[in-house]
Chains A and B, each alone.
Chain A
Amino acid sequence: MIRIEIDGNAVEVAEGSTVLEAARKLGIDIPTLCHHAGLTPYGACRLCVVEVEQRGRKRIESSCTRPVEPDMVVRTDTDDLREYRRTTAELLVAQCPDSKPIRELAERLGVQNVRFEGRGMECILCGLCTRACQQKIGTPAISFIHRGVDRKVATPFEIQSDVCIGCGACARVCPTGCIAIEDMGNKRVLRVFNTELELQACSECGAYFAPQRMIDRLKTETEVTEGLLTRCPACRRQAIGAVLRQAMR
């Protein structure tokens, strides 16, 4: 266990924990956008910056990436930090003027008016979707392309992805909700990534329930009986229910 001080309060956390985790343990609210407990720290949105003092030297660091070290003194709410967060939030609103979660967050951080013309984006480039896709799903269907202000998340060459399994993790980790997944008939459509995937029809009831690529992947990665995977969950429950009924009558 490592003991550190945050805003005057001592806290003990396990070695390898981050300052953000330690602060949350104390109930200190630090805003974040690019942080997700299931994904590797990234340190891109810079809203979670804190002041870390060690051996008399102060540095501004992102709390989501900073591992705790003994005798660390952390401040989360100085005038400078408030200015950094407010300005960064203002910049994010200017980038994505129509994003409700971003506007709400900015308001909470004290942004009253935005002094810049909107860039009309919906994505704040936090990299949660790319990290989920690359590091967790392991089919790097999407990544960042271009750099600087031209940076965006896309499939290679911005065309139909060959490897996307249509799991939708990208959409569900997105803090602005800018990735839409639409199931239309036998197709799952990820419009922002120009990608359409065939859906698997249930072998029992015929309902489309999951992308074929996702089923194909599960076939190779689990020992669950193949015939089961092409059944929709509801039909699986029915089948098992019948067996249970039979067995226990």
Chain B
Amino acid sequence: MSRLAGVTDLDARRKQALEAHEAAATVIAVCDGPGCNAAGSAKVAAALRRAVADAGLEGSVQIKTTGCHGFCQCAPVVVAYGDGLFFRGATPDQAPAIVEAAVNGQPIPESVLYRHPATNEPIALERDIPFYAHQERRLLKHASHIDPLQVADYLAVDGYAALARALTEMTPEAVLEEVKQSALRGRGGAGFPTGMKWELCRRAEGDQKYVICNADEGDPGAFMDRALLEGNPHSVIEGMAIGGYAIGASRGIMYIRAEYPLAVRNAALAIEVAREMGLLGEDILGTGFSFDLDIVTGAGAFVCGEETALIASIEGFAGEPRPRPPFPAQRGLFGKPTNINNVETWANIPLIIRHGAAWFSEIGYERSRGTKIFSLVGEVQNTGLVEVPVGMTLNEIVFEVGGGPKPGRTIKAVQTGGPSGGCIPASLFDVRVDYESLAQVGSIMGSGGLIVMDDRTCIVDVARYYLRFLKSESCGKCTPCREGVPRMLEVLDRIASGEGSDADIDLLGQLGRTVKGASLCGLGQTAANPVLSSIRHFRHEFDAHIHEKRCPAAVCTALITFHIDAEKCTGCTACARACPQQCITGERKQPHVIDPERCIKCGACLDACRFDAVVKE
């Protein structure tokens, strides 16, 4: 890859890339995100390449593996462009049929055809699928067009045009002003205005400054940053270079958790290519601006997402936070002014510079502008990565993009912001998903995890789950978090086992207030949110556990029993054979009985019964 001496070189390379793209009549994009990869996308891609070769179509059909498209529910996802034919759950043996459909336009074989989950109506084109149709894709717009390892793909969608524009047409102050005007706020969760953060760091005195990309995404069920880094690492690099220019930093560090090996690999390869092309390093595009990037892999501690802990981790110390001030903008990495933004924030920067602050902020709600990527998971029809305007209501996200509850179920709540966020009940789904509105209902925006729960989810159990997570992720430095979180968990365990009392709710409140108020860092200060918000919105479920010794969702094992409905039981013995305790007895073709004394409530009988005769309550 030869070095680009200036903007003309960059434009020439872009033209080249575009011409190469136009040469291929059909591009079949195979999603190689983690979900699709686990579902076998690599084999599908290989089979597709073989099928193309067998059909002698190498000249006109190109197979491309890309980052995450977002619709993980349909993994492995394959899309054929020109038109955008959508194939769900592709398998290697369907490859020839997919190639044929892609070339001829139709028909899509039934086994890989997407059908609307409610109406069962077939939908052939990607853009017609409700999951995509209700989104506003800006960051993910090219997710299915870019092979993360091919810089040409990024150039073809105007990649690095923003960097070129910033360096040649704008002063650092102008770049900063543009970012401020855009009203972009930190996508890591706290929502601090990005432009203001940059300005603090720019104004701080220091011979050396750093910009850091926080890719230590640790919330359970969140994968936005991972998808961006894996699928389009160049956009993050470009954003960081622009940030370095505006702030006056010549060095950048991407802090990526080691559990994201593909993100680490793709980012490292992208940095190498950018360096070879002269888009990183000394004298970028002949403008005299120098900026270089390194990757540091984190050992995967949730607390390292907190910026002072992250800095300590990069410096080689244990990832433990320290009190602020001094803020990293004043004294950060190695004591130098440092600006930290998360992956999604950085990825937004090139868009703002390329299209302008006005374009960016035209969508959004009140003080929250632009789009936000969420990982929509849990008990909804369509799980995956979704990008919507900030301020869309939860209703729209859950029911229109997410497709609503699974058959026969009702949605009860959504947890936003992961373990730092809160549980929002369905009755409040009119709430807009923006920083301020979510805070009002006791939750936070967070980095973008949206976990949907239906009537089979016990709120007490969910709160216990988050506290268990936080207990094991607390660094243990400060007393309220280290000692308080496990004590809250003890109390919840007591409630879940039916031994709770009303005093326990008060105790949870008192512990929660102290953990929230007195803890040292963001992890502790938000650790009580899942419990406090679920008590606030689902007090009746806590009361059912405490007073009626009953778990309404039939989840808390101490409060449920299994028995067999004699009416429905056919005596097939499937349950008795599955029972590890061998505590189900009964003659063949006669109703069976579970011995409650010996039953360990594992649920194996429930799974084994084909006649819905096993009852859990």
The yes or no verdict on A and B being binding partners is: yes
The answer to whether A46 touches B518, judged by C-beta atoms less than 8 angstroms apart, is: yes
Contacts of B511 in A (CB 8 A): 87
The answer to whether B478 touches A44, judged by C-beta atoms less than 8 angstroms apart, is: yes
Convert A116-138 into 0s and 1s, putting 1 for each residue whose CB lies closer than 8 angstroms to a CB of B: 11000000110100000000000
Q: In the complex, A124→B477 CA distance in Å?
A: 10
A150 interface residue, CB < 8 Å from B? yes
Q: In the complex, A163→B494 CA distance in Å?
A: 46
The answer to whether B520 touches A92, judged by C-beta atoms less than 8 angstroms apart, is: no
Contacts of A91 in B (CB 8 A): 479-480, 483-484, 487
The answer to whether B513 touches A83, judged by C-beta atoms less than 8 angstroms apart, is: yes
B436 interface residue, CB < 8 Å from A? no
Query: Given contacts A65-B323, A80-B517, A91-B484, are A45 and B490 in contact (CB under 8 A)?
Result: no
B472 interface residue, CB < 8 Å from A? yes
The answer to whether A144 touches B318, judged by C-beta atoms less than 8 angstroms apart, is: yes
The answer to whether B476 touches A46, judged by C-beta atoms less than 8 angstroms apart, is: no
Please indicate which of the listed interface residues A125, A149, A151 has the most CB atoms of chain B within 10 Å of its own CB: A149
Convert B515-534 into 0s and 1s, putting 1 for each residue whose CB lies closer than 8 angstroms to a CB of A: 00111100000000000000
Q: In the complex, A43→B567 CA distance in Å?
A: 64
The answer to whether B518 touches A125, judged by C-beta atoms less than 8 angstroms apart, is: no
Q: In the complex, A155→B279 CA distance in Å?
A: 46
Query: Given contacts A115-B507, A150-B476, A151-B482, are A88 and B471 in contact (CB under 8 A)?
Result: no
A67 interface residue, CB < 8 Å from B? yes
Within 8 Å by CB of B478, from A45, A87, A149, A150, lies: A45
Convert A71-111 into 0s and 1s, putting 1 for each residue whose CB lies closer than 8 angstroms to a CB of B: 00000000010011001100110110000000000000000
Convert B496-525 into 0s and 1s, putting 1 for each residue whose CB lies closer than 8 angstroms to a CB of A: 000000000001001101100111100000
Distance of B447 from chain A, by nearest CB (Å): 21
The answer to whether A84 touches B475, judged by C-beta atoms less than 8 angstroms apart, is: no
The answer to whether B518 touches A49, judged by C-beta atoms less than 8 angstroms apart, is: yes
The answer to whether A88 touches B480, judged by C-beta atoms less than 8 angstroms apart, is: yes
| Chain A residues bordering chain B, tally (CB within 8 A) | 36
The answer to whether A95 touches B483, judged by C-beta atoms less than 8 angstroms apart, is: yes
Question: Within residues 458 to 482 of chain B, which ones have a CB less than 8 A from any CB in chain A?
Answer: 471-480, 482
A56 interface residue, CB < 8 Å from B? no
Query: Given contacts A46-B520, A80-B517, A116-B490, are A148 and B473 in contact (CB under 8 A)?
Result: yes
B142 interface residue, CB < 8 Å from A? no
Please indicate which of the listed interface residues B478, B510, B518 has the most CB atoms of chain A within 10 Å of its own CB: B518
B43 interface residue, CB < 8 Å from A? no
Contacts of B486 in A (CB 8 A): 148-149
Q: In the complex, A176→B528 CA distance in Å?
A: 29
A32 interface residue, CB < 8 Å from B? no
Within 8 Å by CB of B514, from A83, A143, A150, lies: A83
Q: In the complex, A139→B513 CA distance in Å?
A: 39
Within 8 Å by CB of B510, from A83, A149, A150, lies: A83
Please indicate which of the listed interface residues A46, A83, A95 has the most CB atoms of chain B within 10 Å of its own CB: A46
Please indicate which of the listed interface residues B477, B507, B511 has the most CB atoms of chain A within 10 Å of its own CB: B477
How many interface residues does chain B have, given as a range? 20 to 34
A146 interface residue, CB < 8 Å from B? yes
Convert B374-405 into 0s and 1s, putting 1 for each residue whose CB lies closer than 8 angstroms to a CB of A: 00000000000000000000000000000000
A57 interface residue, CB < 8 Å from B? no
Distance of A157 from chain B, by nearest CB (Å): 16
Within 8 Å by CB of A147, from B322, B474, B478, lies: B474
Query: Given contacts A46-B518, A125-B482, A149-B471, are A144 and B476 in contact (CB under 8 A)?
Result: yes
Contacts of B490 in A (CB 8 A): 116-117
Distance of B147 from chain A, by nearest CB (Å): 39
The answer to whether A125 touches B520, judged by C-beta atoms less than 8 angstroms apart, is: no
Q: In the complex, A138→B482 CA distance in Å?
A: 27
The answer to whether B480 touches A84, judged by C-beta atoms less than 8 angstroms apart, is: yes
CB-CB nearest in chain A for B512:
A87
B301 interface residue, CB < 8 Å from A? yes
B325 interface residue, CB < 8 Å from A? yes
The answer to whether A92 touches B323, judged by C-beta atoms less than 8 angstroms apart, is: no
Query: Given contacts A80-B517, A87-B510, A87-B511, are A43 and B322 in contact (CB under 8 A)?
Result: yes
Tell me the total A-B contact number using a CB cutoff of 8 A.
Answer: 102
Distance of B191 from chain A, by nearest CB (Å): 15
Contacts of B484 in A (CB 8 A): 87-88, 91
The answer to whether B517 touches A60, judged by C-beta atoms less than 8 angstroms apart, is: yes
A200 interface residue, CB < 8 Å from B? no
CB-CB nearest in chain A for B515:
A87
Contacts of B482 in A (CB 8 A): 125, 148-149, 151
A219 interface residue, CB < 8 Å from B? no
A61 interface residue, CB < 8 Å from B? yes
CB-CB nearest in chain A for B513:
A83
Contacts of B471 in A (CB 8 A): 148-149
Query: Given contacts A46-B479, A83-B510, are A148 and B518 in contact (CB under 8 A)?
Result: no
Contacts of B322 in A (CB 8 A): 43, 65
Question: Within residues 178 to 225 of chain B, which ones have a CB less than 8 A from any CB in chain A?
Answer: none
Contacts of A88 in B (CB 8 A): 479-480, 483-484, 514, 518
Contacts of B520 in A (CB 8 A): 43-44, 46, 62
Distance of A91 from chain B, by nearest CB (Å): 4
Contacts of A83 in B (CB 8 A): 510, 513-514
Contacts of B479 in A (CB 8 A): 44-47, 88, 91-92, 124-125
The answer to whether A84 touches B478, judged by C-beta atoms less than 8 angstroms apart, is: no
Question: Within residues 425 to 472 of chain B, which ones have a CB less than 8 A from any CB in chain A?
Answer: 471-472
Distance of A33 from chain B, by nearest CB (Å): 8
Distance of B488 from chain A, by nearest CB (Å): 11
Contacts of A125 in B (CB 8 A): 476-477, 479, 482
Query: Given contacts A46-B520, A60-B518, A92-B483, are A148 and B323 in contact (CB under 8 A)?
Result: no
Q: In the complex, A62→B484 CA distance in Å?
A: 17
Q: In the complex, A127→B507 CA distance in Å?
A: 28
The answer to whether A94 touches B480, judged by C-beta atoms less than 8 angstroms apart, is: no
Q: In the complex, A45→B479 CA distance in Å?
A: 5
Within 8 Å by CB of B475, from A80, A92, A143, A147, lies: A147
Within 8 Å by CB of A46, from B318, B475, B478, lies: B478
CB-CB nearest in chain B for A62:
B323
Q: In the complex, A116→B490 CA distance in Å?
A: 9
Q: In the complex, A62→B517 CA distance in Å?
A: 11
Contacts of A84 in B (CB 8 A): 480, 513-514, 517-518
CB-CB nearest in chain A for B489:
A149
Contacts of B474 in A (CB 8 A): 147-149
The answer to whether A46 touches B480, judged by C-beta atoms less than 8 angstroms apart, is: yes
Q: In the complex, A57→B478 CA distance in Å?
A: 24
CB-CB nearest in chain A for B470:
A148
A236 interface residue, CB < 8 Å from B? no
Q: In the complex, A41→B301 CA distance in Å?
A: 24
The answer to whether B476 touches A149, judged by C-beta atoms less than 8 angstroms apart, is: yes
CB-CB nearest in chain A for B477:
A44
Question: Within residues 137 to 181 of chain A, which ones have a CB less than 8 A from any CB in chain B?
Answer: 143-144, 146-151
Distance of A137 from chain B, by nearest CB (Å): 18
Please indicate which of the listed interface residues A67, A84, A117 has the most CB atoms of chain B within 10 Å of its own CB: A84
Closest 5 CB pairs of A and B: A151-B476, A91-B483, A87-B514, A65-B323, A84-B518
Q: A43-B323, A61-B323, A92-B479 are in contact. List 8 more A-B contacts (CB 8 A).
A: A44-B477, A65-B322, A67-B325, A84-B517, A115-B507, A143-B318, A147-B473, A149-B486
- Listed A/B pairs (11) with beta-carbon separation below 8 Å: A44-B478, A44-B479, A83-B510, A84-B517, A87-B510, A88-B480, A88-B483, A116-B487, A116-B490, A147-B475, A147-B476
Interface residues of A (CB under 8 A from B): 41, 43-47, 49, 60-62, 65-67, 80, 83-84, 87-88, 91-92, 94-95, 115-117, 124-125, 127, 143-144, 146-151
